[in-house]
Amino acid sequence: MNHARRLAVTIIALIAVPQLAVADDAAKAKEILEESRNAIKQAKTVSYTAKYTADGWVKTQVPEVNGKVTLGPSGEYDDPRFISEVSIKKPDWEEGKSFTAGCDGDEYFLVDAGTKKVHHDIDPVVLGSNARDIQRVNMPELTSDDPFKDLLAAKSYAVKETTVDGVLCYEITAEMEGRQEKAQVWWFSKRDHLPRGVRRVYAPRGDEGDEDGATQLMISNVTAKADFAPAAFKLKVPAGYTKTDEFAP
Please name the amino acid found at residue 176: M
Residues contacting residue 207 through CB under 8 Å, at least 6 positions apart = none
Q: Mark 207-224 as b/e (b = at least 16 C-beta within 10 Å).
A: ebeeebbbbbbbbeebeb
CB distance 168 to 161 below 8 Å: yes
- In this prediction, residue 20 carries a pLDDT of 44
Structure confidence at residue 204 (pLDDT): 87
**Residue of 45, 39, 48 whose CA lies nearest to 72:** 45
Predicted confidence at residue 180, as pLDDT, reads 78
Q: Which pTM was predicted? A: 0.88
Going from the first residue of the chain to its last (249 residues), give the mean pLDDT of each consecutive group of 10, the final group possibly shorter: 50 45 86 97 97 95 96 94 96 90 97 93 96 96 95 96 97 88 97 98 80 96 95 95 95
Helices (H), the chain: 3-42, 131-134
